[in-house]
Structure 1
């Protein structure tokens, strides 16, 4: 199995949505079962876009070289399902699926790899960062450590209602609401879309959104209008309000029991202000949670998809993986 051809398995099916995860396995010469730490790598896309192939392969390769099994899951996309009941529940169910031994049962048919369930971590980019952090609260068994790259958090911050003219400039004129609202008619709720937040293709190249597709047009319209949070988790939902978002916002769920957490965020990010990550780091520190934060000079949102291995940015973001390694160790190499 090459690094580019993961094992893809079904981890959940709900209301006809079949939800899969890609599983990347580190190299081994052993013929006997060996336990490896596992990390869950969650794609970004404003909770409305993207799929499991839209992640950084250099990051995955870095994890594999540390002897980690890497799971890259899909999840249901908003707004056909809300944030709490859709993406967050799917990723929490994936973690439970791993802990309950279902992945091991599949791996036993493939070769010697097994999961060290006492050493599981999670990381993600943008909305994926929020979903990784969402494993740190209201879950029966948390991951051992979490790494958020420019995660979408702190939903009561004024930024989440700000209009983004640079995103609006990408939109074609006169998009009709009836066209945009076709997204609500998608049955079953989809688990993948054609592009991620910045339009990366699976190879990482930017091909731009396809505004002839309601999902792309809808998502970018909501992002540009400052409506993302109200669309993915309407105020009428339990725990969803300007005052609260208690059930979905990691910032409001920090406690002394939160897993050790590392944060990386670009100083030039115009899609998710670095202030939300700073607030998360502040609250983690105040709660006594082992944590750290790296602010990356000159980097915009989604830089993990564009960065070159060996660049300054590469080494700076890698501090998050070094942090995870302190808690889950290396696998047998």
Structure 2
């Protein structure tokens, strides 16, 4: 008992350390990329006509007058800047729960992200729900009717969904359902029905991937001995498929779902832009990158990466529920 508790504690500490390591790596890489981009944020935000005094005041206000990192490389050699630099200041702020202040609006970055993050999360979850509702029934039908027209249709649907990018599917759905049929508004995120088209756009590609995975898993599981045993006991085909085969076949599907949620959160940028969905993607693209608000860019990337890490940790926990034989290493 004590050995199992020690093992679980070490596993928990290992995962927590991994989360910190990934978060540190992501923020460090983003900070490094931002620093090597030509131009100054003060010039981009204040404009070319800003006076030297205005630029100095802006840089002093946001800490841009400090060195970027611990060391500075120049023609004179390497200079040690100590801990009074932008990199150390930003990380100390993260440890206090402070992601800094926007260069343009002077609002806390965390507040701006929390305003938009629920919309992006809602869109990603809606897209995953649509993908699962399409993929599981279609994948099971294809797997249980291998080689039939149902299987061929599922394969065609999967190939079509994977081949069409969101910037093609999105405008097509807008043209059909918003312009021609007028069932939905072409853009916006204020009404409940506004989520339908962007969720279908995001979920269609994911449903295609999941359909192929469910089909492969079902075909593989149907050849196992426990399936023949269940049928020999007189269980109906529906019970065999959905209670036994699908449960074991969902393990690789859960893996993809966990990985794809992070992809959806990051890949929703294009979809949010197409449909005018006020989420984290448009915040990062329009208010962060386009306006060179680097503090906002750092905060958005950090939140997306942390969400991705937490979802994958949750995915590992679901493994053990689907199959108790799985042990986390």
After TM superposition, is the score higher than 0.5?
no
Larger Rg: 2
Structure 1 length normalisation: TM-score? 0.25
Going by fraction, where is strand more abundant, 1 or 2? Answer: 1
Structure 2 length normalisation: TM-score? 0.25
